[in-house]
Amino acid sequence: MKSTISSTLQERCQGLCELCSTDSAASAYAVSPKNNDVIENEVALCDQCLSILEGKDAGNHWQCLAGSIWNTEPSVLALSYRILYGLKDQDWANELLTSVDFEESVVTWALSAYQVQAVHVDSNGTELQNGDTVVLTQVLNVKGANFMAPKGTVVRKIRLVPDNPEQIEGKVNEQTIVILTKFVRKSA
């Protein structure tokens, strides 16, 4: 996702593309799955870096990432890591990836683009979807909420927890709680 550069982002990047540090920054690129809400999610990009990200042939252009991996902004690091990871079968890219000690949160953010969406299944192995209705297959002791949901409780319109295939969210007693998928059965 891209949008126009805010004045605060313009100030952060000092007018230059945060990947290549060569050309003028022209767009604010949000590093997925985050969006353009805050500049901490964004990277200021020149037209050339943006067009390569959108599919144009990179040539040798991504060698510039040898500079951007030393940036202090997590968004710039995550995007740099993500691009290099896609090129890691090339020695130079692999070397750059291993030359910096990236924060775990940066790596997770970077690699989210490569992860297959987790599949959530119920106690019978049936795949669950957002909006499904499930039935509790055992008593649920809701920690922190001070109540027990009996076996057989129907929970409608569940939400899958995106980064954890063992968890869903649903409303019980008007409260949204996290439920383990192994304790539910999909209702027909």
Residues that bind Zn ion (CB under 5 A): 17, 19-20, 46, 49
Q: How far is the CB of 101 from Zn ion (least distance, A)?
A: 24
Cβ(131)–Cβ(158) under 8 Å? yes
> What is the number of helices (H) and of strands (E) in the chain?
6, 11
Q: How far is the CB of 40 from Zn ion (least distance, A)?
A: 19
Check residue 61 and report its DSSP letter: G
Q: How far is the CB of 2 from Zn ion (least distance, A)?
A: 13
Q: How far is the CB of 27 from Zn ion (least distance, A)?
A: 10
Computed on alpha carbons and rounded to an integer, the radius of gyration of the chain in Å comes to 22
Q: Which is nearer to Zn ion, 19 or 136 (CB)?
A: 19
Q: Which is nearer to Zn ion, 27 or 181 (CB)?
A: 27
Cβ(43)–Cβ(16) under 8 Å? no
Q: Which is nearer to Zn ion, 20 or 160 (CB)?
A: 20
The C-alpha atoms of residue 76 and residue 70 are separated, in whole angstroms, by: 9
**Which residue is it, tokens 């569940």?**
158
* Residue number, nearest CB to Zn ion: 17
Q: Which is nearer to Zn ion, 30 or 136 (CB)?
A: 30
